[in-house]
Chains A and B, each alone.
Chain A
Amino acid sequence: MDKFVCVRLVQANALNLTLFQFDYDLTFTVFLLNADKTIYGRFGSRSDRKDAGKDISMEGFRKALAGALDLHKRYPANKALLAGKQPRPTRFKTPDDFPSLAGKYKPTLDYEGKVVQSCIHCHQVRDAERRFLRDDKKAIPDEVLYPYPMPNAAGLALDPKEKATVTSVGSGSPAEKAGFKAGDEILTLEGQPILSIADVQWVLHNASEPATLTAEILRGRKRIKLALDLAKDWRRQSDIAWRTTTWDLRRMAAGGMVLQDATAEERRAAKLPEDALALRVNHVGEYGDHAVAKRAGFKKDDILLSVDGQTTHLAESELFRYLLQRKMAGEKIPVTVLRDGARIDLELLMQ
């Protein structure tokens, strides 16, 4: 690490979003870049609420650093190769520019006063982006609902101890159809040199729908080119339940309820078929905008059987997508719940 100039930022206040674009649900992320702001790579991935270390390791980090040093040594001759790794145009240049955050925070932390309250957290950037769309009466698109997909959305499980080495390939997945195999090392994706799982996520995040991504992999001593076909709606394979920012989706679409698929036992007891909607209310918010469902009469352990006429199986995130792409704030949605064996009709206010 003595080969790098090391900077630690612990705030998103005044963070330059034209440069630092990453998965804002992360509490730890790394940028490796040149003094002229050319990005060599990113590091930091997460797919689990409790286990923040599941998708990263010191071994993988060391390899990403070594890869960045190699790119730095060959810079600027390799600048064209790095073009795809650079930030995309963005409407808001800093978090403070979002309407919901404007005027609430200062550019620096208040170390002499309320230091915690003076901090804009990274997840607030994603929250603010979604709130901006919602307030503007726009549907929240898939790329904003499912940001920075983990490679498993395409059927690739990668080893956190390596830069981007495949440990397994999902059966029937786009990765399997493309010809990926366990042990393959992804050298480039869309021509971008890959230093980490986060670099793979960057490519996926910016991929269109549908898309064909070109990968160069190392299998044994052979370099092989593969074409990864991603169908329309491929992002929807991403699990977003772990994300901090999903909390605000629950406010918008569920009035503060946390929903979970009913168990097989609960379905049997209620005589509900496997393909029927059956989302159990695991939690009902108590305060403010998160108590909208509570005030509407929803209770913990209710089972949602019908939402806006939808009665076929939907996971929590699928229900949120349905509502946040079709229903605007202020609309009231009919909901039928099962409670103690009785069906009860309620109305849920969209926010």
Chain B
Amino acid sequence: MTLTILGVPILTFLTFFPTVGALLILLLPSSKPRTVRVTAFLVSLFTFAASIPLFTLFDSTQRGMQFTEQSAWVPDLGITYHMGLDGISMLLILLTTLLTAVSILASFSAITTRVKAYMVTFLLLETGMIGVFVSLDLFLFYIFWEVMLIPMYLLIGVWGGPRRVYAAVKFILYTVAGSLVMLVGILKLYVAHHATTGVYTFDLLQLYDTALDPGTQLWLFGAFALAFAIKVPMFPFHTWLPDAHVEAPTAGSVILAGVLLKMGVYGFLRFAVPLFPEAAMTYTPWIIGLALIGIIYGALVAMVQRDVKKLVAYSSVSHLGFVMLGLFVWNVQGLSGGILQSINHGLSTGALFLAVGILYERRHTREIADFGGLSETLPWFAALFMIVCLSSIGLPGLNGFIGEFLVLLGAFRAWPLVSAIAAVGVILAAVYLLWMYQRVMFGPITHEKNRGLPDLTKREFWTLAPVILLIIWIGVYPNPFLRRLDVSVSELLGRVRTHTLSLKAPPASPSMAVPASAEGAK
């Protein structure tokens, strides 16, 4: 199926339309920030609108990639311009286009200096992000993966808080170090593929079939996993995250939490696991262990934060632990739960950062102790903020519940004890988020400045509204989303199983006996 927009295949269009928009904005006069803002918003809104057909026209019964495009690029090296998506990347692309539009809208009043450069940077970032999710060629993927770093680096470093330069440099050094090790892994894989087949190619779907001996697989999985684990971030590679989140401007944090962390998760799903399934099985206990540490450690550290934004940042470490746990229990519930939870986290945590940004714009502080009693002055905000917090906690009826429930269910089927430990994380989430909410929103007003703060403006309401709508939709009726994941998830599980059947004692044997169609949770 080839769907085109203005004669351009849809995935190429989605990837590069923001760049075209950015170039357009370059031509606008910087003396008119309002025109620049509105143009940028329209570009991102149009990109979002153009991405909706991916969801509606997606064939949830078809195996393999959809909306594919392929053309030769550097034939000598076996590099092709190959794009396509499955259920997993489709949802992540929609998340990206939605959150970009929301973030740009949220930046209208927060960003007052160098507006033009900001909007250009943001739109270039969107190109990088979408590119990562649609690339089916390792070379193309790597380019987008790295290209995206520079705009994010600038967003943190130019428009960030007081320690922004430190945070920006730390962010880029961590991620670049990881990516470069992965680059060696990619090259090794490329050479190994040639050694067995005689063909040089970076095409992911061909590389899936590369026969590798177990020792090489372990090394290569390690090289890929390091890059993705830094991005997720998994404990103990998470230390860049709080700095980056706290210093980044609101919109930067939204994108960082909402999309960039998901790239790590996506990297495991699309690259590390299907390329090296045996190694993935071997590493499973370690990853599960780190995920559990992340869940508990992130939650405990979040609990003692005085700064709301830092609290949300550490809650990300905990939530991403859940996602990784779901991925590595190797059953349908865990895997679809993990993927859905990573979408959920993008929505909930994105909205949490938006809320923190709204507070910050009013009071220019993020210290929990500086607030209190805001529910009286900001009733609308209080209501929406409550929904967002509850979604992040995992209250039934909201999206977080579905994801966490599936992950815990999947984990329980594999290892009940693991599930029990992870469940503690859910309780801790309730503790730190509700406690924070109570201190910020309830009680008497202790600071004079908190009196008479204006409630949500229309624009602020519309930044939160679409996200909250999705939070409720997924919470009440997740089926449209889960259905689109089904085939991709079972395909991935199928790959892992066929490749590990030959192993003598697969670590996750309890889940192995269950057929892929058993989907009790739905």
Asked whether A and B interact, the reply is no
